[in-house]
A and B are shown apart, each in its own frame.
Chain A
Amino acid sequence: MNPPRGAGFDLDAPWQLHPQVSVRPERFGALLYHFGTRRLSFLKSPELFSVVRSLDAQPSARAACAEAGIGSADLPAYARALATLAASQMICGRTGS
């Protein structure tokens, strides 16, 4: 299974941390553990951690990136990282928003 490209990630949709995922801050960013898939993910920067942490409260992933201070030039890289997290079910689409 190849992770989808950033272009396949809907930055304008509402996203959330998967309810079965625990997050632990680390000096490099954060560690995620998914109790359903029993997989670990590494968030390799504090900025990416900020984006992931604000997904739940923001109307879209784009807004979460803005909240975390991500400039537009860096958005594609974050979209790719979020796409990888979505492919491994660490984050998922939020309904009812």
Chain B
Amino acid sequence: MTVTAAPLVEEFRYGLAAPICLTWELTYACNLSCVHCLSSSGHRDSRELSTAECKRLIDEFERMQVFYVNIGGGEPTVRPDFWELVDYATAHHVGVKFSTNGLRITPDVARKLAGSDYIDVQISLDGATADVNDAVRGPGSFDMAMRAMRNLADAGFAGFKISVVVTRHNVAQLDAFKAIADAFGAQLRITRLRPSGRGADVWDELHPTAGQQRELYDWLVARGENVLTVTPSSTSLATARACRASTCAAQDGWSA
């Protein structure tokens, strides 16, 4: 059709005017100390940015017209200025997606989050049962995540994400994860274990076996229609399905 001047792929050689989204590890402080944490989080880095510095960065994102930032850590909500920074970003037309273990997602916070069009939340969960989850993420972390998800669902926050790092011990729980996501009106997101940070230390015990990778692949083909993933094979499947004549669905915008 004449609307298209040149194949878009040609134009992409020149890049975009700015990133679509950015990943921002706001703090390395964390209330948990997950055995597979790819950023080895737990303690605050003394060099982390001040509130004023964070706001200056957000100002820059606004000028660049970056659509949104993916905020992680660490547990970003342990920063006392976290909600202030979220409000600042959304007021300056920078959307916020943040990853949390659920620590500060109280009913009040959940209602506030549900009231904004510019905020998306991802809850980390690495087991569909407390025993499998807590073995990796620490005692009480399953209940904390489930409480946060209940609060989000009760507040009417539809479509928040549940992010699962697939391990040798939870790959058999994919149906159970999907059931939890469905029960909360959430969307399941599957990611890979990364041999980075403490993830390198536990790689040998936790990385899925070749047989389990195949199991995961088969499950995604059979049940993964509405599951977000950064697994290359299923990502390309999803892309092929989602692309249209003049629009294309955003790929999973969450950082790893």
A-B contact count (CB 8 A): 87
- Residue from A20, A40, A80 having most chain B Cβ neighbours under 10 A: A40
Return B113 CB to nearest CB of chain A, in Å. Answer: 14
Over the window 220-255 of chain B, the binary record of Cβ atoms lying under 8 Å from chain A Cβ atoms (1 yes, 0 no) is: 000000000000000000000000111111100100
Q: How large is the interface on B (under 10, 10 to 19, 20 to 34, 35 or more residues)?
A: 20 to 34
The SS class assigned to the A binding surface is: mixed
- Chain B positions within 8 Å of A, measured between CB atoms, are 1-6, 8, 11, 14, 16-18, 20, 65, 67-68, 93, 95, 117-118, 120, 244-250, 253
Return B255 CB to nearest CB of chain A, in Å. Answer: 14
Over the window 10-24 of chain A, the binary record of Cβ atoms lying under 8 Å from chain B Cβ atoms (1 yes, 0 no) is: 000000000010101
Over the window 54-97 of chain A, the binary record of Cβ atoms lying under 8 Å from chain B Cβ atoms (1 yes, 0 no) is: 00000000000000000000100110110011001010000000
Return B2 CB to nearest CB of chain A, in Å. Answer: 5
A–B Cβ pairs within 8 angstroms, 5 of them: A33-B95, A40-B250, A81-B245, A84-B246, A85-B246
Return B151 CB to nearest CB of chain A, in Å. Answer: 21
Tell me the count of chain A residues lying within 8 A, CB to CB, of chain B: 32
A81 near B248: Cβ-Cβ < 8 Å = no
- Residue from B17, B18, B67, B247 having most chain A Cβ neighbours under 10 A: B247
CA distance A96 to B65 in the complex (A): 30
